[in-house]
Amino acid sequence: MGKHYRFRGFKEKAGAKSMSLLDHFSLDPISIINDFKMSINHPSYEKITLYLEGKTDIMLFRGIVDENKIELVPVNGKKNIIEVMRSLYNIYLGKVYAVCDADFDHIFQKKDERLDHGIFITDYHDIEVMMVWSSAIHKVLDQKSKNNSNNFYDKVLEEVIQVCKTVGFLRLVNYDKDLKLKFKRLNFNKFILFDNGSLSLDFDILLNELIRISPSTKVTIVELKSYHSQYTTRNYDNKQMCCGHDCTNVLAIYFNKSKNIEGNNFNKDRVEKDLMLAFNEYDKYAVFDKVRRIA
């Protein structure tokens, strides 16, 4: 059994400290479900619970919620959120909601299915993509670039999007056909090229590396190339195809190698933190509006 939570929404016996769910981070949906049921039955507990995919999302959603009314609770990943909400939402209507990355839910028209279980999905592929398609990326580039021209912004974003769209179609193929490819293990430095101030991608190296780090997959490089060619004929929105973590990985490589960027030692986590600190376009996206309306 995973770690147990105590909610900040009520206090224990006299002299005991009130604890926050942020002090814990469970990998076990059953523990999360049981802890919620215990807490919701406490006579002093009045908050609405909002489950988020991870701890880093807490900082973003603190910008739009009243934490005296809504408890922000990190859960480890979308799969866990779906399991938790399928168990809780229809029993505790109005008391528990969740936000998670859409991933390919918009493409496969799963938005209503998620909403039926109290889950709000992101407008674009994920939170990070929403930040990349906002003024936050311009603010980050303003801070770090020596030449702040609009042409530079446009060039960086176009090259990052084109590279990440290629990886995104491979992710889509993997999701749709359950190929068991392990994208989390990808080392982007092995296949992202930076030459004469421009980004590109070595597709063959990417495919070889992806299959190498995915011992459970049965797909061959020839098959994967064929699938990729078939799927890229579909006219999907780049904002749904690009994965935010891919974008921030590629941006980190660009920042480290471009002569127009001040500083070095950039990585995915640092870029994502910079984007989150710069982000303030809550009114632009429906997912934030839905969260504001729950309390």
pLDDT at 243: 98
| Predicted local distance difference test score (pLDDT) of residue 27 | 66
Query: pLDDT value at position 292?
Result: 96
Rounded to a whole number, what is the distance in angstroms from the first to the last CA of the chain?
A: 32
Task: Determine contact, residues 169/200, Cβ cutoff 8 Å.
Answer: no
How many residues in total does the chain contain? 295
Distance between CA 281 and CA 224 in Å, rounded? 38
Residues in the chain, pLDDT under 50:
1-24
Residue 137: name the closest of 114, 161, 110 by CA.
161
Q: What single string gives the DSSP state of each residue in 18-39?
A: P--GGG---S-HHHHHHHHHHH
What does the alpha-carbon distance between residue 290 and residue 275 come to, in Å, rounded to a whole number?
Answer: 22
pLDDT at 263: 82
Cα gap 169→224, rounded to integer Å: 11
**What pLDDT sits at residue 24?**
47
